[in-house]
Structure 1
């Protein structure tokens, strides 16, 4: 293999803003943000959703009803 063509594979912190949970895994992602965990500084990637806050993994489903669509759907198929 040629030298210098592969990205750096290093520990990176991922922060789930929805669950306020931080986990560190190895990644090649590039980021400018940093976070200090137990005296060690890691590059930081902010996430909207991870397994800690996703409804599929937490079991907490949210139904967003815009314009009464869910109610209309339930009313239409409740007759059958």
Structure 2
């Protein structure tokens, strides 16, 4: 492994899946200004739209996730082409 090219600021970070409220802890260098208390300890928080606990490939379930009204924006944008 080459020296001096890898980050030195690894720390424990909480990742929270916003679709099912699952929280898991792992090491990361990602920057964040939010924190969360998890099992009596405060961790920096990274919010995720989808993770291994909600992704259809891992769960075997298919579900519709409409983030910030993307489907409605698409329908409104292309409604004029509808006959």
- Which TM bucket (shorter chain)? 0.5 to 0.7
- Per the TM alignment, residue 27 of structure 1 is displaced from its structure 2 partner at its CA by 0.5
Instruction: Tell me the TM-score normalized by structure 1.
Output: 0.68
When Rg is computed on C-alpha atoms for both structures, the one with the higher figure is 1
Instruction: Tell me the TM-score normalized by structure 2.
Output: 0.66
SS of the equivalent of 1:51 reads: coil
Q: Please provide the CA RMSD for this pair.
A: 2.4
4+ runs deviating over 6 angstroms = none
- 5 Å-filtered alignment, 1:1-80, equals 6-62=7-63
The separation in 1 between residues aligned to 2:52 and 2:42, in whole angstroms, is 24
Distance change (3 Å), C-alpha of 1:38 and 1:61: closer
Unaligned runs of 5+ in 2: 65-73, 76-83
The separation in 1 between residues aligned to 2:11 and 2:39, in whole angstroms, is 17
In structure 2, the partner of 1:74 is none
